[in-house]
Amino acid sequence: MKAEHLHAIRPPAVAGRFYPSDPGELREIVDALLGQASSEPGATVPKALIAPHAGYIYSGPVAASAYALWRPARVTLRRVIMLGPSHWVAFEGLALSSHSAFQTPLGLVPIDPGAAELLCLLPQVSVLDEGHGREHSLEVQLPFLQRVLAHFQIIPLVVGDAEPEAVAEVLEALWGGSETGIVISSDLSHYHTYPIARECDRQTAHVIEALDPDQLTPAQACGGHPIRGLLLAASRHHLSARTLDLRNSGDTAGPRDQVVGYGAFAFDSGPRR
């Protein structure tokens, strides 16, 4: 994707619905969620995070438990690879945006043009703005990143039907060092009763902690395709996965007859727990 093809700004699609559209209110809510998240003094800054993507009233506290771990990297983490599932458009592979930046009520988040151009050399990656237009899975992560990190660029990828190896190859191409982090956007089980969802999500957490992509099914996580690719890449890089938080909408702001599961996970070079 040549620089001259980049154009305009991708406007927010779910501001005012999934999170506040007023900048002051949004800043206050995100900061409060991060402030309530438990901290780990001296802990290793994770290379990758899995965070949920529902409305903040439902999954915000769970997402904050992941992003809080990046606070020590506020200045050093300058590039974030973002992968989330497609909820609106069916396609093969991974979709980039042709825009130069994503906008939220907190401001603009620039896309790394060099990284985007590099990924377009891979056959599983294409530019598909339609995949980003109404998609919320990446957008809802941005205000957390904007409050945690100082100056950063993103590589936003909406993931369609893609094998773990294809996703892992994309991650490997941009893996980098401490300046680069990875965010996988995913909710967990959908529309089970509260006790069934809790059991399903516990099993999913075990699969993620075991770095076993073959055991993760679409019913366990809507972001299953990007998660499976991360598990493969994390295993190759000898990372460990740990569960930070595991709740559902019945724990946060909804009834318990049909719930959606949320999990936060961190991947780093520390020992498995």
Q: What is the pLDDT of residue 271?
A: 56
Q: Alpha-carbon dihedral of residues 165, 45, 78, 179, nearest 10 degrees?
A: -70
Q: What is the pLDDT of residue 3?
A: 40
Check pLDDT > 50 for residue 198: yes
- Total domains in the chain come to 1
pLDDT classification of 35: cutoffs 50, 70, 90: very high
Residue 198 falls within a domain, yes or no? no
Tokens of 15: 């501001």
**What average pLDDT does this structure show over 196-220?**
96
Contact call for residues 67 and 107 (beta carbons, < 8 A): no
pLDDT classification of 182: cutoffs 50, 70, 90: very high
In SS3 terms, 6-38 reads as CCCEECCCCECCCECCCHHHHHHHHHHHHHHCC
Check pLDDT > 80 for residue 76: yes
CA distances from 10 to 43, 140, 203, 240 (A): 35, 13, 37, 34
Residue 210 sits in which domain range? Answer: 3-38+47-151+169-177+203-268
Residue 114 falls within a domain, yes or no? yes
- Give Cβ neighbours of residue 141 (< 8 Å, ≥ 6 apart): 51, 53, 63, 82, 84, 183, 185
- Give Cβ neighbours of residue 195 (< 8 Å, ≥ 6 apart): none
Prediction pTM value? 0.95
Tokens of 181: 């982090």
Q: Which CATH number fits the domain that encloses residue 214?
A: 3.40.830.10
Check pLDDT > 80 for residue 169: yes
Of 17, 50, 63, residue with least CA distance to 220: 50
Check pLDDT > 90 for residue 17: yes
Using one digit for the tens of pLDDT, what is the confidence trace for 129-154?
A: 999 999 999 999 999 999 999 999 99
